[in-house]
Structure 1
Amino acid sequence: MFQDLKLHELLDLRQQKKVVTIDVRSPSEFEDATIPGSLNIPFFDDNERAEIGTIYKQVSIQAAKERGLEIFSAKLPSFIKEFSQIPGKKAVFCWRGGMRSKTTATVLSLMDIHVSRLEGGYRAFRQGVVQALDELAVLPTAYVLHGNTGSGKTAILRRLQQSGYPVLNFEELAGHRGSVFGNIGVKAHNQKKFDASLVDELLSIRQAPYLLFEAESKRIGKVVIPEQLLQLKEVGHQIWLEVPLETRVQHILEEYRPWEHQEACLKSFLQIKSRIHTPVAAEIDQCLKEEKYDRAVELLLVYYYDQRYAHTASGYNSENKTIIAAPSTEEAVEAIKQLLPT
Structure 2
Amino acid sequence: MIPCTLSTYSDLTDLAVDTIIDVRAPSEFAEDHLPGAINLPVLDDAERAKVGTIYKQDSPFSARKIGGALVAQNTAAHLQGPLAGKGGDWQPLVYCWRGGQRSGAFTTILDQVGWRVRLLSGGYRSYRSLVSKMLYDGPLPHQLILVSGGTGTAKTRLLQHLETAGGQILDLEALAGHRGSIFGATASEQPKQKMFESRLAAACAQLDPNKVTWVEAESSKIGDRVVPPALWSRMCTAPRIEISAPLPARADFLCRAYEDLTDDPAQFGAQIEQLRPYHPVELIGQWHDLAKTGDWQTLATGLVRDHYDPRYAKSAARSATPVRRLELPDLSETTLQQAAQTLLSGAAPA
Whether 2:311 is the aligned partner of 1:335: answer: no
Identical aligned pairs, as a percentage?
Answer: 28
Task: Pick from 298, 313, 316 the counterpart of residue 313 of structure 1.
Answer: 316
- Distance in 1, Cα, partners of 2:329 & 2:197: 32
How far 1:44 moved relative to its partner?
A: 1.6
298-307 vs 245-254, greater mean Cα deviation = 245-254
Q: 1:58 is matched by which residue type in structure 2?
A: Q
- Contact kept? 1:166, 1:210, Cα under 8 Å: yes
- Call closer, same or farther: CA 1:318–1:7 in 2, change over 3 Å: same
What does residue range 228-307 of structure 1 map to in structure 2 within 5 Å?
A: 228-256=230-258, 257-307=260-310
Task: Pick from 195, 200, 203 the counterpart of residue 202 of structure 2.
Answer: 200
Whether 2:125 is the aligned partner of 1:118: answer: no
How far 1:163 moved relative to its partner?
A: 5.5
CA offsets per residue over residues 270-329 of structure 1, 9 Å max, x none? 111231244332111112233333332221111111121122122233362232426223
- Distance in 1, Cα, partners of 2:329 & 2:61: 67
Q: 2:74 is matched by which residue type in structure 1?
A: K
- Distance in 2, Cα, partners of 1:54 & 1:308: 51
How far 1:10 moved relative to its partner?
A: 7.8
Q: 2:274 is matched by which residue type in structure 1?
A: Q
Whether 2:85 is the aligned partner of 1:82: answer: no
CA offsets per residue over residues 81-113 of structure 1, 9 Å max, x none? 423546854211111111111111111111123
Q: CA RMSD in A?
A: 2.7
Partner of 1:70: 69
Task: Pick from 73, 90, 93 the counterpart of residue 91 of structure 1.
Answer: 93
143-152 vs 266-275, greater mean Cα deviation = 266-275
TM-score by length of 1: 0.89
SS at 1:167's partner residue?
A: strand
- Call closer, same or farther: CA 1:305–1:85 in 2, change over 3 Å: farther
SS at 2:82's partner residue?
A: helix
- Distance in 2, Cα, partners of 1:228 & 1:322: 27
- Contact kept? 1:146, 1:238, Cα under 8 Å: yes
- Call closer, same or farther: CA 1:163–1:120 in 2, change over 3 Å: farther
Task: Pick from 135, 138, 147 the counterpart of residue 136 of structure 1.
Answer: 138
Partner of 2:48: 49
- Call closer, same or farther: CA 1:27–1:307 in 2, change over 3 Å: same
SS at 1:213's partner residue?
A: strand
Q: 2:47 is matched by which residue type in structure 1?
A: E
What does residue range 202-221 of structure 1 map to in structure 2 within 5 Å?
A: 202-221=204-223
CA offsets per residue over residues 190-223 of structure 1, 9 Å max, x none? 3211222222222211433322111111122222
SS at 1:56's partner residue?
A: helix
- Distance in 2, Cα, partners of 1:340 & 1:70: 61
- Contact kept? 2:131, 2:198, Cα under 8 Å: yes
Which structure 1 segments of 5+ residues have no match?
none
25-34 vs 228-237, greater mean Cα deviation = 228-237
Task: Pick from 100, 103, 106 the counterpart of residue 101 of structure 1.
Answer: 103
Partner of 1:14: 13
- Distance in 2, Cα, partners of 1:261 & 1:114: 52
- Contact kept? 1:241, 1:325, Cα under 8 Å: yes
- Call closer, same or farther: CA 1:254–1:50 in 2, change over 3 Å: farther
- Distance in 1, Cα, partners of 2:201 & 2:219: 19
- Contact kept? 2:142, 2:209, Cα under 8 Å: no
- Contact kept? 2:153, 2:244, Cα under 8 Å: yes
Whether 2:295 is the aligned partner of 1:322: answer: no
Count of paired positions: 341
- Contact kept? 1:324, 1:335, Cα under 8 Å: no
- Call closer, same or farther: CA 1:340–1:119 in 2, change over 3 Å: same
Partner of 2:32: 33
- Distance in 2, Cα, partners of 1:16 & 1:255: 39
Which structure 2 segments of 5+ residues have no match?
none
Partner of 2:224: 222
